[in-house]
Structure 1
């Protein structure tokens, strides 16, 4: 992003230098605990602006510029020491992008991910301690139409409910899906690797759009103002 003062009447070269100075955070520390990534400030949830100087309220988050949120499953503090069995996942979202990672959770070789591929819903998860990867694509029309869509994924056996329509017989598996209990929404904090590497080749593009609600194992989040994340705006 580049800002040019209308009263700045110097030559084009100076204008270009002004723009580079404004958008770079190499020489200026990002405010409010923001982090400089690729010469751009990555702001914490509740902050926005070139240098994270603006305060915003985020109840329904808007994802763009590779932003992500991190939802930790609450309750027992000892859960950080063991795996969490995922019984169900719910998400309500809207997007116009055909390819996107909606959520991802992982521990060691076990993982689960939900996203879009060419506009169609895509569910991936690992079985047998990561030795087997399963990809599910339910027979449902594309959902990257800018409308709100709800997805409920249930295990034991696996079934899906998309916008109120049930899909059960297509999936006869009884997977035991376990993760760390930390769910990344929209993207992962990929500092030293790409998203496609982090997701084992399953998803290459971060989510762009809005997410109204997320839930796992009957614990729901519909106010995201206190959730950790980076580069999140308000819908």
Structure 2
């Protein structure tokens, strides 16, 4: 999932180059998304883009049926599922609306659960693996990332529980935990950050705005823009994609990368 850009886009291309049959789940596959267009034009016929919004039960079930119908002749199931789709939300805990908390959890946590449960029969039959893209934020919470850290922490425990349960089926469950790779993905593009900031500014409760003050709010969000677009944020996603490839291809992958 999440192959429109970033790690998912890079992994889809890399696995295609290695000879895999790839079903690249894209949020905008059916609506002219640039990422899905590039995948179709730059990759071999083994790669197929699949429309999938991880929060939409109908789209998820349609994707499962499409994959099932498209498996190569003689295939017992799906060798690997990579849960990569995710959203990010900055802001102090008091600033973030309940609707936003729900959206972040719906995509990052429940989206992963929904996709995994739907594809597990195909994974089990192939004795394949599930690879979940989490984050160091799921291990170490810090300021300005409470909603994101909560969602990724839930993914960590979901993955660990699933690993225990899938052992009897010969299915492996792997977690990849990227660190500071903001510049290597679209998750913190300036336009996205600006939209999220304005949403918080407009929807924060009056008492929160009054007590914190707009000067503090603006300064904090300015620093966030600098941190996430600064030199400390890696531009090259290769290290993460390498780990994702290992998680998919190694006979005995680590539990975590």
Q: TM-score, normalized by length of structure 1?
A: 0.27
More strand by share: 1
Work out which of the two has the higher radius of gyration on C-alpha atoms and give 1 or 2.
Answer: 1
Q: TM-score, normalized by length of structure 2?
A: 0.25
- Higher-RCO chain (CA-CA 8 Å, sequence separation at least 6): 1
More helix by share: 2
